[in-house]
Amino acid sequence: MPGFPLFPRQASTMAGRVDALFFFLLAVSAFFVIIIALLIIGFAIRYRRRTASAVGAPVHSALALEIFWTAIPLGLAMIMFVWGARLYVSMASPPPETEDVLVVGKQWMWKFQHMNGRREIDELHVPAGRAVRLTMTSEDVIHDLFIPAFRVKADVIPGRYSTIWFEATTPGRYHLFCSQYCGTRHSAMTGVVVVMDPTEYAAWLAGGGGSSVSPVEAGQKLFQDLACATCHLASGQGRGPSLVGLVGRKVTLGTGEVVTADEGYIRESVLSPAAKIAAGYQPIMPTFQGLVSEEQLLQLIEYIKSLGGPQPGQAAPAAAPAPRQGKPGPPAGQNQN
């Protein structure tokens, strides 16, 4: 904030809302700390024991006073709860249209990949005035991505996916930190978020040079290299279920349990395929634990997301090219979706 350099600058649409709640909590806390301290001092002076033989008089409760000092704090607490809950829901619910970025935390760096394939390390370029969603995971230990100027912060945990979103408002360069102790060089795990005008950002994104491969394209190639297409046919007639339209769909397991096929489900299906077996399929898929990296898992997920689903009255689109002739490779992807 201008005039207060120790406080982070407000540079996102959520920053002002977070600060308003923070200062409200701070004001309420300060009010009660001051008034309670003054009352303690005042009562200690007024009702002190003046003689050794003095005996205090019995005190009877006052119903109106009891209701007053119960109702006021309750009302303030409910205001804080509702205000905080609404803010939390807003911060946890990205808008339908976002600029997606994949993030992998690693001792001791941040790796970013944009949807057109452009990669960055410890530096993230984003457009101003457009919602950006980060899908994050860790290769080793727990990290925590924190951008003070945007008032966003989330743990980045091995084996799980966490998501945050923000909409930057002001072009500039902003600090990015790991706020979870992650090892000897934790303090060096920093970065910069570069907020650009949308036109400049589009030019920067297109000017990466080299032969950047998008996560979807990389995931499709990996899908073929691992021979996933030999089992996961778009027709649903393979040894594993079709992956067309899988993401976000309810899946019935062999146990009768119904789960949602989200990113975590797909990840578990690749690394621990026996954990959740889709109804009607056998547990024949091998694990790919140690054979694919966290970045490759994210790419596989993006490819599966891109398969979408068939439109009413249309046949399902091909999930991948036809299986290669000859001896099939090991089944991959996930046979329990």
Tell me the CATH number at 243.
1.10.760.10
- The count of domains in the chain is 2
Answer whether 16's CB lies under 8 Å from 10's CB. yes
Contacts of 85 (CB under 8 A, 6+ apart): none
- Say whether both 201 and 117 belong to one domain: yes
Distance in angstroms (rounded) separating the CA atoms of residues 44 and 46: 6
Q: Note the pLDDT of residue 206.
A: 86
**Tens-digit pLDDT profile for residues 248-258:** 889 898 888 99
Domain coverage including residue 243: 215-306
**Tens-digit pLDDT profile for residues 166-185:** 999 999 999 999 999 999 99
- Say whether both 301 and 258 belong to one domain: yes
pLDDT value at 333 more than 70? no
- Say whether both 122 and 184 belong to one domain: yes
Q: Note the pLDDT of residue 325.
A: 31
Distance in angstroms (rounded) separating the CA atoms of residues 231 and 238: 5
Distance in angstroms (rounded) separating the CA atoms of residues 293 and 102: 13
- Say whether both 202 and 230 belong to one domain: no
Answer whether 135's CB lies under 8 Å from 126's CB. no
